Amino acid sequence: MVLNPVISKLSGKLVVLASASPRRLEILTNIGLRFEVVPSWFKETLDKTLFKTPYEYAVETAKQKALEVAQRMPFKHLKAPDIVIGADTVVTVDGLILEKPADKQDAYRMLSRLSGKEHSVFTGVAIVLCNEKEGGEIEYNVVDFYEETKVKFADLSEDMLWEYINSGEPMDKAGGYGIQALGGMLVEYVKGDFLNVVGFPLNHFCKQLGMIYNSPPESPAHKIKREDSTEAEGPWALVNSLSKCTENGENNQQSSNSDSAQDQNVVGPECAKCNNEGFPHKIVDLLDGFKASKTLFTASKLGVFDVLSDSEGLTLEEVADRIKASVLGTERLLDAAVSLGLLHRLRHGENTVYRNTDQARRFLVSDSPLSLHGYILHCNDLVWPLFTHLESAVREGTNQYERAFGKKTENLFQDGYYKKDDVKMRFMNAMHSIAKVTGTDVATAFDLSQFKTACDVGGCTGAMAYEFTKAHPGLSVIVFDLPPVIEMRHHFQPKEQDDRVSFVAGDFFKDDLPKADLYILARILHDWSDDKVHELLRKVSKACTPGGGLLVSEIFLDEERTRPSRALLQALSMTEGQQRSAVQYRDLLEEHGFTHVQTKYTDNLLDAMLFVKKDPNADKPLPATSSESVETATA
């Protein structure tokens, strides 16, 4: 075996796989390689249009994943790795990169495009060698490569397509299929490395390790030192320019038409460019972070992403005219958005035009299926004012709603502020946005085939409920929420009606809950005081029969409270509720007669836990699945 002499040289070294993919873990485990798994926190937001070939995109993504872990571990895990392995797999057909499908319709589009065609599977791999120098400085040597495999699909019938999609297998697979499982029945032939299609090109990887450890000092690696920083200013210079004009009204920052892949990723505190120990890059990023948030909020509120949604690009003057803003102010806003990776600035003939990025098209245009527009406006109009009084919140330990808005609130839909239809609609839009983006991941987190009816407690517009019925054809869902919410639900109904979703008005603290096999509490428990949480869980436990289920979806804290967490930051708003870890939720639910079955970390805005109601007359609970398990989304 080509790897055998290499394994002995890795003995005693800390080898890390920067991926939670069970397929990559299995491939490397099977050859006897000893390693730890530390999933990368790198957000895969590189703009595909900036890469000439698909494999360049895959290699760069793999490199950023590996570097993020290599640079994080000495600080967050208090140990420096010797080797970090990163990988990214993409499927390409007709010049289009297909990654993981966003939902079933996206999976259908992908697989339909692949039907009857030969396509390419590229895996980019990065091997980061970490060498500690005198004084504690770490030098990173990066070896990267890619592998291409050709795959031919059979002609797929509609029945076969939907049977495969409804199996759930496509949802976490690049290109929407897994060749090592059910997806293998779709494939006519494979040309090249089969394991590359599974997710990791083992043969090529072994050869690269052989070159690294069995070759002269001149290796294929290129070095990345912490002190290397070729761009001193980065995107914050453009963000800062929004708030300050020179005396003659001109911007002193030099604008650049270069939107390289590296430019898109210089903001993150763990970035390869931001670790010069002589300068506090991470602190400065945090210092200026609010300016980036307000740039996003303002661009959304002014409709920048909407006016660019139906165009291949607009000039500065055209955008300024459509959003009814000054040319100078618009220029600085657009350039700041470009620097943050939200927009492209391109040459179009003799003109410079601005265009939405892929992420902006999917998540920032107000009428896109997965738009976060409503939630962004909610953050701007409600959360931002609350956090401007954070110092008072910390000193007093109280919510700052009265200081921010001039009145107290006991219930969002009972005080005068939220009784206004426009404000109520804005709040419901925000909740609808989150449910649309998180719904698929939460709904597909577990096998729920044993349940026939569900009640989404506090389900608002029904967006989450519709995702559950899409994912589980045998399930019907009752949305239970306050009368004012139910009255306005028609504003959010999908074009294709689903009679398996129904709506019942009521107060879940005062009224009886509808009977169901499964109860869903998504983004509910963190909002309320302990007394209210226990009151609600007593009602759910009373309504739920033995063997019935409870699905809790929240942001789960890590036990040590050390990882960057939206939940920890959200807790600073000082609502009467609290954020909890998965263990705390497990203990909480056990008090009310529920047994933990499974946990799913989705890498989305919400995670999920499944519980089953104990049978008080039996020694053991009625299980929903065969064993308790914890599942993590693949990277």
Instruction: Give pTM, 2 decimals.
Output: 0.55
* The pair of three-digit structure tokens given for residue 560, joined into one six-digit string: 């040590």
The pLDDT of residue 585 is 95
Nearest to 461 by CA among 523, 409, 513: 523
Per-residue pLDDT of 244-280, as tens digits, reads 544 344 444 333 333 333 333 333 334 444 444 567 8
For residue 390, count other CB atoms closer than 10 A to its CB: 13
Please state, in angstroms and as integers, the Cα–Cα distance from residue 584 to each residue in 456, 544, 576, 578, following that order: 22, 21, 17, 11
The pLDDT of residue 77 is 64
Please state, in angstroms and as integers, the Cα–Cα distance from residue 223 to each residue in 92, 130, 227, following that order: 30, 10, 11
Round the CA-based radius of gyration of the chain to a whole number and report it. 26
CA pseudo-torsion sign 99, 102, 104, 106 = negative
The pLDDT of residue 301 is 95
Residue type, 73: M
Active-site entry in 88, 103, 193, 481: 88
Residue 575 C-alpha from the chain's centroid: 25
Q: What 3-state DSSP class applies to 594? A: strand
Question: What distance separates the 2 farthest-apart alpha carbons in the chain?
Answer: 81
Are 623 and 572 within 8 A, CB to CB?
Answer: no
**Packed helices 421-443 and 463-471: angle between N→C axes, nearest 10 degrees:** 20
DSSP 38: -
**Packed helices 327-339 and 316-323: angle between N→C axes, nearest 10 degrees:** 110
Is 88 tagged catalytic?
A: yes
Compute the residue count for the chain.
635
For residue 577, count other CB atoms closer than 10 A to its CB: 18
**Domains, the chain:** 4-93+118-148+185-225 (3.90.950.10), 236-247+261-371 (1.10.10.10), 434-632 (3.40.50.150)
Q: Spell 170-184 as b/e; 16+ CB within 10 A means b.
A: bbbbbbbbbbbeebe
Residue type, 354: Y
DSSP 200: -
Backbone φ and ψ for 188, nearest 5 degrees, come out as -85, -45
How far apart, in whole angstroms, are the C-alpha atoms of residue 199 and residue 599? 24
Nearest to 435 by CA among 388, 468, 407, 405: 468
Place of tokens 């200081």: 403
The pLDDT of residue 632 is 41
How far apart, in whole angstroms, are the C-alpha atoms of residue 563 and residue 557? 8
Q: Which parts of the chain register pLDDT below 70?
A: 1-8, 76-78, 135-136, 215-278, 408-421, 560-565, 618-635
Backbone φ and ψ for 142, nearest 5 degrees, come out as -115, 125
Helix (H), strand (E) at residue 283: helix 281-301
For residue 590, count other CB atoms closer than 10 A to its CB: 13
The pLDDT of residue 540 is 97
* The pair of three-digit structure tokens given for residue 330, joined into one six-digit string: 């618009």
Pairing state between β 96-98 and 83-93: antiparallel
Q: What residues form DSSP beta bridges with 313?
A: none
How far apart, in whole angstroms, are the C-alpha atoms of residue 79 and residue 72? 9
Place of tokens 């993020």: 68
Q: How many Cα atoms within 13 Å fall on the side-chain side of residue 418? A: 16
What's the burial of 341, exposed, middle or buried (CB within 10 Å: 0-12/13-18/19+)?
A: buried
Are 348 and 313 within 8 A, CB to CB?
Answer: yes
Nearest to 237 by CA among 186, 187, 190, 292: 292
